[in-house]
């Protein structure tokens, strides 16, 4: 009976962990995590480098297996780079729940960066609406937004693919390079994945939409 209960408990934990997975592709796994106040995680470690998007402001305390305790405070919409590391316990040390999106990078950096045309690079084409946050051999991360009724210039995302984390609701029409188009509706906090693509979106909503783009090299 004890073994049966232990097995059921293990399967329950696995199912709960699986519930966090929003996207699972060859290049990335994306987790949507809700950290309750003052609830410590089990001792664990991350085997992949990650991009972390904090949807809510808050405070996280990290208790490493070895070393000094770290206390970090984050603003809503803040993005950080988190290398794979040793075992630790994390705790939401604030007084409110925190929604966090974690993009795990399954593959090492490519030996050769993907070719990028400046004429189709969104950051180069429109730096007022696409602000680079950071770049390293594995990813390029930038913040992108568009006012109501405004249209993006045709641009291209290169590499293995890209994750878009919606910071606001979005109601848009997306036009592809071949002239076809489709509607895109999403909710704040949602994560979207696409393979390399050339497109331009028009904001059909009454409010500005904003997102974090993680281009995976």
Domain boundaries, the chain: 19-105, 118-216
Owner of token pair 């930038």: 142
For residue range 194-215, list pLDDT tens digits in order. Answer: 999 999 999 999 999 999 999 9
Confidence label for 157 from pLDDT (cuts 50, 70 and 90): very high
With 90 as the cut, is the pLDDT of residue 15 above it? no
Q: Which of the two residues, 183 and 14, has the higher pLDDT score?
A: 183
With 50 as the cut, is the pLDDT of residue 8 above it? no
Q: Are 49 and 28 in contact (CB under 8 A)?
A: no
Residue 122 CB neighbours (<10 A): 21
Q: Return the CATH number of the domain spanning residue range 19-105.
A: 2.60.120.10
- Position 68 scores a pLDDT of 94
- Position 39 scores a pLDDT of 93
**Residues in the chain, overall count:** 217
Calculate the average pLDDT of the chain.
Answer: 93
Q: What mean pLDDT comes out for the span 157-168?
A: 98
Residue 147 CB neighbours (<10 A): 11
Helices (H), 35-128: 122-125
Q: Are 117 and 155 in contact (CB under 8 A)?
A: no
H or E, element range at 15: helix 2-18
**β-pairing verdict for 28-35 and 49-54:** unpaired
With 70 as the cut, is the pLDDT of residue 44 above it? yes
- Position 1 scores a pLDDT of 47
According to the CATH classification, is domain 118-216 in 2.60.120.10?
A: yes
Share of the chain above pLDDT 70, in %: 92
pTM, to two decimals: 0.90
With 80 as the cut, is the pLDDT of residue 35 above it? yes
Confidence label for 14 from pLDDT (cuts 50, 70 and 90): very low
Q: Which of the two residues, 181 and 11, has the higher pLDDT score?
A: 181
Domains 19-105 and 118-216 share a fold: yes
The three-class DSSP label of residue 118 is: helix
Q: Is the dihedral of CA 63, 19, 190, 144 positive or negative?
A: positive
């Amino acid at each position: 009976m004890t073994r049966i209960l232990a097995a059921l408990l293990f399967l329950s934990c696995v199912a709960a962990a699986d519930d966090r997975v929003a996207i699972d592709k060859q290049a990335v796994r994306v987790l949507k995590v809700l950290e309750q106040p003052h609830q410590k995680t089990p001792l664990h470690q991350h085997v992949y480098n990650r991009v972390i998007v904090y949807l809510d402001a808050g405070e996280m305390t990290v208790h490493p297996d070895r070393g000094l305790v770290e206390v970090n405070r984050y603003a809503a919409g803040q993005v950080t780079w988190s290398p794979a590391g040793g075992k630790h316990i994390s705790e939401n040390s604030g007084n409110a729940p925190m929604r966090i999106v974690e993009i795990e990078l399954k593959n090492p950096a490519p030996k050769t960066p993907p070719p990028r045309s400046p004429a189709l690079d969104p950051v180069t084409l429109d730096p007022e609406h696409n602000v680079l946050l950071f770049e390293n051999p594995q990813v390029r991360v930038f913040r992108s937004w568009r006012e109501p009724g405004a249209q993006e210039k045709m641009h291209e995302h290169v590499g293995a693919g890209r994750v878009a984390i919606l910071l606001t609701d979005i109601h848009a029409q997306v036009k592809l390079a071949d002239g076809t188009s489709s509607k895109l509706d999403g909710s704040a906090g949602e994560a979207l994945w696409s393979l390399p693509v050339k497109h331009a979106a028009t904001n059909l909503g009454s409010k500005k939409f904003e997102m974090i783009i993680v281009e995976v090299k």
